[in-house]
Chain A
Amino acid sequence: MAEFLTMLFDTSTVLGWTVVTLLKVLGFVVVLLISLAFILLADRKIWAAVQMRKGPNVVGAFGLLQSFADFLKFAFKEVIIPAGTDKLIFIMAPFLSLVMAFIAWSVIPVAPGWVISDLNVGILYLLAISSLGVYGIILGGWASNSKYSFLGALRSTAQMVSYEVSIGFVIVTVLLLSGSMNLSKIVEAQAGGFWHWNGIALSPITFVMLPMMVVFFISALAETNRPPFDLPEAESELVAGYQVEYSSTLYLLFMIGEYLNIVLMCSMVTILFLGGWHAPVDVAPLTWIPPFFWFAFKTLFIFFLFAMVKAIVPRYRYDQLMRLGWKVFLPMSMAAVVLVSAWVVFAQGGA
């Protein structure tokens, strides 16, 4: 029996590798989905608290089971597929956006060695996958055969494509500083205390990197269609944008995908700018906390900021959104790339 078990988990064999990877994937999916249920609740609770309401408080203690009740409600409703839709694509689109949101997580290191696939081009993989997330939205909007859906999808796609450009340049600045595209190595390059973290390092380059962290954060809001950039679903103009015709489980898939992307963006801010799983100071009581919890804590803190922005900032106008992306963030991040490469070459003497 023991022999069989060692064989089963021996990663040097094909069988062992498959079993271990499957277990890792399962672990990620289960932890993500369960934490997502509470993150959704936290989002609503924070939003409610800012507006001096109680928020969900009926299902379970403090409304803790609200998300599960919502899940059951979604799952047991009827799936309505409107007439005149492209049925195959209509059903495929939410699955696509959910799958894209999940597979992006395969390169996220949540603790030393806790990653499904430690890709050398991890950050490029993330960029590639996040640019694919557009398809779920645009196909869903088009296949719905409705004007609101289609306009919402067009808006969303234009917005995501625009902000991806500045996100790409911000990521290049981090790559230049860390000298690697492997996410684990980017985190390791920030070891040794919070004054080594890319976003808030104690060095002159922080005058460039701190604004870049803010640019990344705001672009992440736009990339995930969060308020104040939730124009694709601006209910006063477009009812609910690309989601108008979706109901029941298909809508649920869209929503899970959206929130997974939001948490992904939070974890990217953590990895790129806030030192990933590292404790802020390497002294005794802080180092007792396992690295995973530092990662989770930082990610949740960024998510708290996401929720606060949703609660306190009014919606942007569409032309202002485009102006911000192309005329403000893009030149800023391009200038930052030049400054950071100059810093790396002349001040650090690296190449």
Chain B
Amino acid sequence: MDLAVLLPAVAFYAFAGAAILFAFGVVAARNPVRSVLFLIMTFFSAAGLFVLMGAEFLAMILIMVYVGAVAVLFLFVVMMLDIDFVEMRQGFADYLPLGGLLAFVLTVELIVLGASWSVSGKAQELRQAPISGDTDNLRAFSEVLYTDYAFFIEAAGLVLLVAMIGAIVLTNFHKKGVKRQNISAQVARRAKDGVELVDIKPGQGL
């Protein structure tokens, strides 16, 4: 078999298999920190799949944003949680029927979906459409995002801005009576603002 065909296929199954295994690890791991680590490995495998599709820009962004920032915050929160493992496993029997039912429904849905899905004749064509010739990823993205969808991306940016301001307003409390450092006032302060020279006569005191 031709190596140019074989290698991507091997890489695809390796990444896809790893993604599924790690995703299972996320729910199966007993220690929540290890769960987050499995989640990170899942992100990695997904990034590998992106690279195989020729979308290296997306892969890098996935690693930078999700692995580099979001998962770090996850880790922060999970590490600082005070988790009682005994208490956590107490309700297992109570939730088993409901959880099992949900899992069953989802599995049936997935099977039905998988059975009715077929590869479109145009799949190969569609998959290769974004990577047209010499244009690299970034240019291909920006030529679509900042021309045809310019207003949508601006709107998305506004939504994010509103969300950010909302989050800051909700969490930012200024406690009264806390001394804060005002750097510019500190730097602008001169000797004559703080020091007073008094000429004291001997024997008299102040």
Contact B68 A164, beta carbon cutoff 8 Å = yes
A-B contact pairs, 20 of them (CB 8 A): A86-B31, A89-B34, A119-B56, A120-B136, A121-B57, A121-B60, A121-B136, A124-B57, A124-B61, A127-B64, A128-B68, A131-B63, A131-B64, A132-B63, A135-B72, A138-B75, A142-B75, A142-B79, A161-B69, A164-B68
Knowing A121-B57, A124-B57, A142-B79 are in contact, say whether A131-B68 is a contact too (CB < 8 A): yes
Residue from A14, A131, A134, A150 in contact with B79 in the complex, judged by beta carbons closer than 8 Å:
A150
Residue from A142, A161, A320 in contact with B33 in the complex, judged by beta carbons closer than 8 Å:
A142
Q: Tell me if A73 is interfacial: C-beta within 8 Å of chain B.
A: no
* A residues less than 8 Å from B60 (CB atoms): 121, 124-125, 127-128
Number of chain A residues whose Cβ lies closer than 8 Å to a Cβ of chain B: 26
* A residues less than 8 Å from B40 (CB atoms): 135
Mark interface residues in B66-78 (1 if CB within 8 Å of A CB, else 0): 0111001001100
Q: Tell me if A181 is interfacial: C-beta within 8 Å of chain B.
A: yes
* A residues less than 8 Å from B69 (CB atoms): 131, 161
Cα A126 to Cα B138 in complex, Å, equals: 16
19 new A-B pairs (CB below 8 Å) besides A14-B7, A119-B56, A124-B61?
A89-B34, A120-B137, A121-B57, A124-B57, A124-B64, A128-B60, A131-B63, A131-B64, A131-B67, A131-B68, A131-B69, A132-B63, A135-B40, A135-B72, A138-B79, A157-B72, A161-B72, A181-B138, A320-B181
Interface residues of B in 116-144 (CB under 8 A from A): 136-138
Q: Tell me if A187 is interfacial: C-beta within 8 Å of chain B.
A: no
Which 6 pairs across A and B sit closest by C-beta, in order of nearness?
A: A131-B68, A124-B60, A128-B63, A128-B64, A128-B60, A120-B136
Residue from B68, B137, B183 in contact with A121 in the complex, judged by beta carbons closer than 8 Å:
B137
Contact A319 B181, beta carbon cutoff 8 Å = yes
Cα A270 to Cα B63 in complex, Å, equals: 25
Mark interface residues in B30-43 (1 if CB within 8 Å of A CB, else 0): 01011001001000
Contact B76 A157, beta carbon cutoff 8 Å = yes
Contact B76 A121, beta carbon cutoff 8 Å = no
- Chain A residues proximal to chain B, CB less than 8 Å: 14, 86, 89, 119-121, 124-125, 127-128, 131-132, 134-135, 138-139, 142, 150, 154, 157, 161, 164, 181, 319-320, 323
Q: Tell me if B206 is interfacial: C-beta within 8 Å of chain A.
A: no
The secondary-structure label for the interface of chain A is helix
Interface residues of B in 145-182 (CB under 8 A from A): 181
* B residues less than 8 Å from A89 (CB atoms): 33-34, 37
Number of chain B residues whose Cβ lies closer than 8 Å to a Cβ of chain A: 25
Cα A86 to Cα B7 in complex, Å, equals: 37
* A residues less than 8 Å from B197 (CB atoms): none
Minimum CB–CB distance for A338 against chain B, Å: 15
Q: Tell me if B3 is interfacial: C-beta within 8 Å of chain A.
A: yes
* B residues less than 8 Å from A154 (CB atoms): 76
* B residues less than 8 Å from A134 (CB atoms): 68, 72
Minimum CB–CB distance for A202 against chain B, Å: 29
Most buried by B among A132, A157, A323: A132
Cα A121 to Cα B47 in complex, Å, equals: 14
Minimum CB–CB distance for A133 against chain B, Å: 9
Who on chain B is nearest to A150 by CB? B79
Cα A52 to Cα B159 in complex, Å, equals: 58
Minimum CB–CB distance for A94 against chain B, Å: 16
Cα A16 to Cα B75 in complex, Å, equals: 42
Cα A72 to Cα B69 in complex, Å, equals: 37
* B residues less than 8 Å from A161 (CB atoms): 68-69, 72
* A residues less than 8 Å from B137 (CB atoms): 120-121
Who on chain A is nearest to B62 by CB? A128
Contact B68 A132, beta carbon cutoff 8 Å = yes
Most buried by B among A119, A124, A164: A124
Cα A89 to Cα B3 in complex, Å, equals: 37
Mark interface residues in B1-20 (1 if CB within 8 Å of A CB, else 0): 00100010000000000000
Who on chain A is nearest to B75 by CB? A138
Minimum CB–CB distance for A177 against chain B, Å: 15
Cα A292 to Cα B54 in complex, Å, equals: 32
Contact A121 B64, beta carbon cutoff 8 Å = no
* B residues less than 8 Å from A125 (CB atoms): 60
Minimum CB–CB distance for B2 against chain A, Å: 11
Contact A121 B72, beta carbon cutoff 8 Å = no
Residue from A121, A132, A135, A323 in contact with B56 in the complex, judged by beta carbons closer than 8 Å:
A121
Minimum CB–CB distance for A242 against chain B, Å: 12
Cα A14 to Cα B4 in complex, Å, equals: 9
Minimum CB–CB distance for A150 against chain B, Å: 7
Minimum CB–CB distance for A307 against chain B, Å: 28
Who on chain B is nearest to A127 by CB? B64
Cα A323 to Cα B31 in complex, Å, equals: 35
Who on chain B is nearest to A168 by CB? B64
